[in-house]
Amino acid sequence: MIVVDGVVGSGKTTLMNILKEELGVSGFEEPVTDNPILGKFYHDRKRYAFPLQIFFLNRRFRMLKEAQAKKVSSVMDRSIYGDVIFAKLLHDGGDMEKDEFDLYQDLLTNMLDHIEAPKLMIYLRADVDTAIDRIEKRGRDYEQIVERDYWERLNREYEAYFSAYNLSKLLIIEAKDYDIRDSEEDRKKVVQLVKEALAETERK
Q: pLDDT value at position 192?
A: 96
Q: What is the mean pLDDT of the chain?
A: 88
Tens of pLDDT, residue by residue over 21-48, are: 999 998 888 766 678 898 898 889 899 9
* CATH number of the domain where residue 152 is located: 3.40.50.300
Q: Measured between alpha carbons, how far is 59 from 30 in angstroms, rounded to an integer?
A: 9
Look at 5 and 67; give whichever has higher pLDDT: 5
Q: Is 138 annotated as a binding residue?
A: yes
pLDDT at 197 over 90: yes
User: What's the average model confidence in pLDDT over 100-124?
Assistant: 93
Tens of pLDDT, residue by residue over 67-77, are: 888 766 889 88
Q: pLDDT value at position 139?
A: 65
AA letter at 158: Y
Q: pLDDT value at position 142?
A: 66
Q: Which of 5, 44, 77, 102 is catalytic?
A: 77
User: What is the domain count for the chain?
Assistant: 1
Range of the domain at 104: 2-203
Query: How crowded is residue 109: how many other Cβ atoms within 10 Å of its Cβ?
Result: 10
Annotation marks residue 77 as catalytic: yes
pLDDT at 94 over 70: yes
Q: Is 54 annotated as a binding residue?
A: no
Q: Is 47 annotated as a binding residue?
A: no
